[in-house]
Structure 1
Amino acid sequence: MRILVVGASGLVGQHVVAELRRRGHAATTAARSRRDGLDHVLDATTAAVAELRPLLAGHDGVVFAAGVDDRETPRRPAYPAFHRGNVVPVERLFTAAREEGLSRGVVLGSYYTHFHREHPEWRLAALHPYLRSRVEQARAAREAAGFPVAVLELPFVFGRAGDRVPNWAGPLGRWARSGWPLVAPPGGSAATSASRVAEVAVTALERASGADLPVADENMTWHGMFSRVADAVGRPRRVRRLHPAALRAALRLFGAVGRLSGREPGLDPAHVDRLLTRELFLGVGEPGVLDQAVRETFGR
């Protein structure tokens, strides 16, 4: 296969490119920022269908590994910014792919879309602009493509690719290295590694899968995750319990500050505590399987 990877300079994008080549496929790389070895500099949020078609010509499939994550706090109302970053690019990319005769695709999405399907009573898309954009992203990609598009539903992704680590790793690592106490609420998250995501993505391309694919290798409580990060940075210590009411109060304060500044986060502070204090686990998981990926992410 010959595959175009959009967002190829990111953590997961680099692993996808490496895995494609390891299996004998050809990978064309595109990303917003120029890096050594990059084939095309491309801002997927602004590129028109006419600009994308020449990049896609002669390819069998495409991977969208770009987009806007939930840390963004755009001007209120937030949803249009998340729509521009996550929905519009896949509409254009997969429209161009259809017009160029491609036959398969992968979108790297969020595991929140899995919980949106499994728990409609949580009203995730209605309450959180970022989550709404991820739900709409999956729909838009498939409607535009007209061919199988697998959506990989990703939780916390550990790992490293050169100087690239997860976007959240910097703040979490600095906290773990600092003298501040570590505190964690109840609840937790599924987790995986960048290398595992790449394996699932390339297999989905080889099979021309159009499935929703939650990807997880281990389920971690917040307490367990923060403790392992502290170990990885060389400052092992006790992680104290954070009462849900304290978390709720902190989030409400954060939301009030955001409203005063005219900004709105992708996860609504008035409701996000309900997510953070749940065990957002996938499958049974395998304790300890991500130890190496955690060390790679935070290693000194």
Structure 2
Amino acid sequence: MEQLNKIFILGGAGFLGYHTVKEAVNRGYSVKTVDIVELPENLKFKEEDKVEFIITNFFNLSDQEIIAMLKDCDGFVYAGGVDERIVPEKPARKFFYEKNVLPTQRLARLAKEAGVKNFVVFGSYTAEFGENNAELREYNYHKEPYVETRLLQEKLAMYGGEGSMNVSVLRLPYIFGTMEGKIPLWSMFVDMLRGQDFMPVTSGGAATVTADQVGQAAISALENGQHRRTYPLATGYISYEDFYKKIVEELGQEEKTKLQVMSFEELEEAYKEDQELTDKKGVEHGIRQVNMLRANSMEFRLPTDVAFDELRVREEDTEAVLKETLAWANTQK
């Protein structure tokens, strides 16, 4: 891997982009980052941090303007895109293709033309299970609009780098952490349980990582990542039952809210009904409800050695980070 000098990070005012900029600065790199909004005043980087923060709509720039902006950078972190929580109008495949695939394909091509040598994409761990989980593949999980387009996003970025640019992907799971000015996605779960007497919980669980660790992994992947390599990134795991228990504790509803773990078979009919209602509304989930239930009824674990051994991610008190995240989510509106 060639020596890195200056790193371009797309989305430096975003949750993951900001944590990635911080890690690049910690390792002594110069950084150029673009976003459509400014950072909060107390999060802005100091002059000695060597961060050039550009406020513009990057995707509206011409190809030549983007190439010119990237000319002095040899690393690129693509911290953009949308996740499966968004429920677009039908067809969902078109929406996720336009939001995740096309922009990544374009920027990988332009980055290579600009002379960038190392390109890292923030992807999704749904791609990991869509590619490798035999049981889910039996039910065409890998052909769900969101999963399929995430896999396509990876491939086209890699094709774009062939010949002179290393392209690798971080397949990201549940991410915990906080950032001033950002409402964490976990707020929707906190609000869902607020004041509830009863809540069914799926029987599976999810791999986890912290936002700081994502930033660390991204810079390590730029430094040492292999072309066409996908990195399933995780430093922990939490069952959905334990996750919901922690939310109930944060809300102080231990005496009020009863959580009941239910199997796929027990919940399947309700999810089928919800899928039919969604269809009638003219919108479509990126992962159909029944397949989402099927996945959420499994233990979505990922090996932690990739993070700690290959990407040199530092150990963190994940319990403390999760607690802080839920407390933050409970106060943000």
Fold shared by both chains (TM-score > 0.5): yes
Q: How does 1:135-214 map to 2 (within 5 A)?
A: 135-146=151-162, 147-167=165-185, 169-210=186-227, 211-214=229-232
Change over 3 Å in CA distance of 1:233–1:2 after alignment to 2: farther
Deviations 1:213-257 (A, max 9, x none): 111111111101111222234434552223433432232222112
Change over 3 Å in CA distance of 1:6–1:254 after alignment to 2: same
> Structure 1 length normalisation: TM-score?
0.90
CA distance in structure 2 between the partners assigned to 1:234 and 1:26 by the alignment: 45
Pick from 317, 321, 325 the counterpart of residue 293 of structure 1: 321
Pick from 75, 89, 96 the counterpart of residue 61 of structure 1: 75
The CA deviation at 1:35 is 4.0
Q: Secondary structure at the match of 1:71?
A: coil
Larger radius of gyration: 2
CA distance in structure 2 between the partners assigned to 1:267 and 1:97 by the alignment: 31
The CA deviation at 1:9 is 1.8
Extract unaligned runs of 5+ from structure 2. Answer: 45-52, 309-315
Deviations 1:80-108 (A, max 9, x none): 11001111111111111000111001101
Report what 2:141 is aligned to.
Answer: 124
The CA deviation at 1:47 is 4.9
CA distance in structure 1 between the partners assigned to 2:58 and 2:198 by the alignment: 40
Report what 1:3 is aligned to.
Answer: 7
Q: How does 1:275-286 map to 2 (within 5 A)?
A: 275-283=295-303
CA distance in structure 2 between the partners assigned to 1:60 and 1:232 by the alignment: 44
Cα-Cα RMSD: 2.2
Identity of aligned residues (%): 25
Equivalent position amino acid for 2:282 in 1: G
**Are 1:249 and 2:266 counterparts?**
no
CA distance in structure 2 between the partners assigned to 1:93 and 1:189 by the alignment: 31
> Structure 2 length normalisation: TM-score?
0.82
Report what 1:13 is aligned to.
Answer: 17
Q: Secondary structure at the match of 2:159?
A: helix
The CA deviation at 1:292 is 1.5
CA distance in structure 1 between the partners assigned to 2:304 and 2:295 by the alignment: 19
Deviations 1:49-105 (A, max 9, x none): 334212212101111111011012222111111001111111111111000111001
The CA deviation at 1:265 is 0.9
Aligned residue pairs total: 296
Alpha carbons 2:205, 2:239 under 8 Å: kept:
yes
Report what 1:87 is aligned to.
Answer: 101
CA distance in structure 2 between the partners assigned to 1:56 and 1:184 by the alignment: 46
Extract unaligned runs of 5+ from structure 1. Answer: none
